Amino acid sequence: MDRRRFLTLLGWFTSLGTIAGISWGSVRFMIPNILYEPPKAFKIGKPQDYPEGVNFLPEKKIFVVRTGDSYKVVSAVCTHMGCTPRWVGERKVWECPCHGSIFNEKGGVVKGPAPDPLPWYEAKLASDGRIFVDGRRIVPFTQSLVVKS
Amino acid sequence: MIGGLLNRIRDSIFRHGYPDNERLRSEAITDNLFLHVHPVKVYRETLEFPKTLGLGLISFYLFVILSITGVLLMFYYVPYVERAYQDMKDLQFVVSFGVIIRNMHRWSAHAMIVAVFLHMCRVFYTASYREPREFNWVLGVFLLLVTLFLSLSGYLLPWDQLAYWAITIVSNLIGVAPLIGKKMRYMVLGGTIVGQNALIRFYVMHVVVLPFLALLLILVHFWRIRKDGGLARAEEAAEAIEAREGDPPGEELKSYGLMNLVEGKTPHVGQDPDRMVTSWPNLLVREVILFLFVMIVIMAMSVLFDAPLEEMANSAITPNPAKAPWYFVGLQELLSWGNPIYGGILAPMSAVLALLLVPYLDRGQAGTAEWFHPARRRAVIIFTVITVAAIILIFTGEFMRGPNWHLYWPWQKWPVH
């Protein structure tokens, strides 16, 4: 390789490398490293605050389902497009208003375009007696928090 | 004295008198930064309204109206979750003419999507995308996409229920893309939910990035029309075919490009001056009339109909039914049928790809610059079927879907909860 060719290649390499570096940096810049969003794990009320049946907590986007002494927490975000399904007591299903997905009382998809069942979140009793919900931990439907009243 | 001064001032601005002869008329165009996007002369036939229906210009005028009203709205609107909705209310009820400006912005945005779409249909049905205009069609497809994204990014800004849930649906649509979907969604929203990060991102896209991109594409789009010899004409196409099949020896084709320094086959000049007229005033008058027409229609709509503003965005309550903006409701309808990969990704992607390839797949030569030429029957049918299917999807999603996305006739009452 002669000197002219070497310098030409070096020039190209430097120019393209600069453009690539700046582009990559710009794209990376657009991906935030810190979020100021509501936490995915949080405390809600005490078990006795929730009556028998399905309780909707709109701020947390969850349902607290109480059957006697057992408590379960299920996501209120439809797995299809993120709308909020509503509980229809008489048919014992969740119905999503956006695209008509229907989930049974176990969260399973009965009908509609939702690809996945509604996830159940881990619920524990915190030391102050309130329920601690961890939205990062998905648990099977069979698992529930039992609090003797 | 005063008159002489005024004359001097006028002469310093305009370099010639009122253009009442051919020479001054050409100078009026070429000497003016804003007018010289026009050719000095245009073919009389391309001025005929039924040839184009003025749809490209109408789209551009709507873009102009949108830019001006958009800048005005920016003086009051703050893209902050706590304030955005309040500012919309102020624009609606407190700011002088705020409601008119906002209505104009909203209705022009809807109208621009319709106009750009119809413009595309016109160019397809008249086969005006053929050589040498193939790439200008491609730019047009990108302009259609930019128009859609402009409208979509503006949709979130009012921060009402309509905005919030439409964008929630559309952002989840991005999330279903294979492999990169989740990452893309994260980047578009600047997080995992439609919140402050999403609002400022949509705002910057809406008022800076996309308008700039649109303007750039529009300028190249216009520039290429000029460089490709104006609007497509049947005669020009026939000459091009003749030229391709063998030039008569010794006959040279002139070119605008480098003024005979190079040979070229693009625009033929000087062959038919008697079929051309000066742009001043023939083209300009038509442009002004069309602009007034667009203004009147948009103004009338803005006086008669108010842009929607629902309750403030509430992430806990999904309106029933919740719908995407109408131009994406066809996609939502497709999505409700099942696997989002087909409805949300494959269908729109293949539609865009097919559109981009149109001028390269069409090998036909007959029927350029003619509406629905019989030789193009198959192409016309395929395009029409796809277009009508898209319109049916949009109509179904917009007018026939009620609570829980159940089907209703447009005139049927929805059950009250």
Assign A122 a pLDDT band (cuts: 50, 70, 90): very high
pLDDT of B254 above 80: no
What is the torsion angle, in degrees rounded to the nearest 10, for the CA atoms of residue B247, residue B250, residue B254 and residue B257?
90
Angle subtended at Cα B110 by Cα B106 and Cα B111, rounded to the nearest 5 degrees:
110
Average pLDDT over residues B32-36: 88
pLDDT of B263 above 70: no
pLDDT of B261 above 50: no
Query: Highest mean pLDDT: which of A143-147, B55-59, B229-233?
Result: B55-59
Asked which of A4-8, B86-90, B173-177, B327-331 is least confident by mean pLDDT, the reply is B173-177
Average pLDDT over residues A86-97: 90
Contact B160, B88 (CB under 8 A): yes
pLDDT of B336 above 90: no
Give the pLDDT confidence score for residue B240 in this predicted structure.
78
Give the pLDDT confidence score for residue B271 in this predicted structure.
56
Per the model's pLDDT, the better-predicted residue between B354 and B340 turns out to be B354
Average pLDDT over residues B342-362: 90
Average pLDDT over residues B33-59: 92
Please, which residues bridge with residue A87 across strands?
A: A94
Assign B260 a pLDDT band (cuts: 50, 70, 90): very low
Whole-number Å distance between alpha carbons of A109 and A103: 5
Q: Select from B43, B19, B39, B42 the least CA-distant residue to B30.
A: B39
Report the residue of chain A nearest B169, measured CA to CA: A81
Assign B249 a pLDDT band (cuts: 50, 70, 90): low
Structure tokens at B210: 């996309």
Distances (CA, A) of B192 to B177, B186, B187: 16, 6, 9
Q: Select from B187, B192, B201 the least CA-distant residue to B156.
A: B201
Per the model's pLDDT, the better-predicted residue between B241 and B338 turns out to be B241
Give the pLDDT confidence score for residue B31 in this predicted structure.
87
Pairing status of strand A120-125 against strand A131-139:
antiparallel
DSSP chain A: --HHHHHHHHHHHHHHHHHHHHHHHHHHHTS-S---SPPSEEE---GGGS-SEEEEETTTTEEEEEETTEEEEEE-S-TTT----EEETTTTEEE-TTT--EEETTS-EEESS--SPPPEEEEEE-TTSPEEEEEEEEE-TT--EE---
Structure tokens at B331: 């996609």
- The answer to whether A30 contacts B187, with C-beta atoms less than 8 Å apart, is yes
What is the torsion angle, in degrees rounded to the nearest 10, for the CA atoms of residue B283, residue B286, residue B291 and residue B294?
-140
Q: Which helix (H) or strand (E) holds B10?
A: helix B2-13
Of A35, A59, A113, Cβ closest to residue B335 = A113
Give the pLDDT confidence score for residue B262 in this predicted structure.
47
Question: Considering chain B, what is the average pLDDT of its residues?
Answer: 88
Whole-number Å distance between alpha carbons of B201 and B189: 7
Whole-number Å distance between alpha carbons of A82 and B189: 14
Report the residue of chain A nearest B182, measured CA to CA: A31
Average pLDDT over residues A15-31: 95
Give the pLDDT confidence score for residue A83 in this predicted structure.
85
Give the pLDDT confidence score for residue B234 in this predicted structure.
84
Q: What is the DSSP letter of B401?
A: B
Neighbours of B13 (CB within 10 A): 6
Give the pLDDT confidence score for residue A120 in this predicted structure.
95
Question: Considering chain A, what is the average pLDDT of its residues?
Answer: 91
**Does residue B178 sit at the A interface (CB-CB below 8 Å)?**
no
Average pLDDT over residues A13-38: 93
Give the pLDDT confidence score for residue B334 in this predicted structure.
86
pLDDT of B104 above 90: yes
- The answer to whether B321 contacts A82, with C-beta atoms less than 8 Å apart, is no
pLDDT of B264 above 70: no
Percent of chain A scored above 90 by pLDDT? Answer: 63
Neighbours of B211 (CB within 10 A): 18
pLDDT of B3 above 80: yes
To the nearest whole Å, the CA of B194 is away from the closest chain A CA by 10
Q: Using DSSP, state whether B259 is helix, strand or coil.
A: coil
**Does residue B348 sit at the A interface (CB-CB below 8 Å)?**
no
**Burial degree of B26 (CB within 10 A; 0-12, 13-18, 19+):** middle
Contacts with A61 from chain B: Cβ below 8 Å: 315-316
Q: Which helix (H) or strand (E) holds B393?
A: helix B377-399
B105 phi, psi to nearest 5 deg: -65, -45
Average pLDDT over residues A75-81: 88
pLDDT of A136 above 50: yes
Assign A113 a pLDDT band (cuts: 50, 70, 90): confident
pLDDT of B282 above 60: yes
Contacts with A59 from chain B: Cβ below 8 Å: 316
Q: Select from B57, B231, B222 the least CA-distant residue to B129.
A: B231
Contacts with B322 from chain A: Cβ below 8 Å: 83, 97-98
Average pLDDT over residues B200-213: 97
- The answer to whether A80 contacts B322, with C-beta atoms less than 8 Å apart, is no
pLDDT of A86 above 80: yes
Contacts with A99 from chain B: Cβ below 8 Å: 332, 335-336, 405
Assign B417 a pLDDT band (cuts: 50, 70, 90): low
Assign A81 a pLDDT band (cuts: 50, 70, 90): confident
Q: Select from A23, A29, A83 the least CA-distant residue to B187.
A: A29
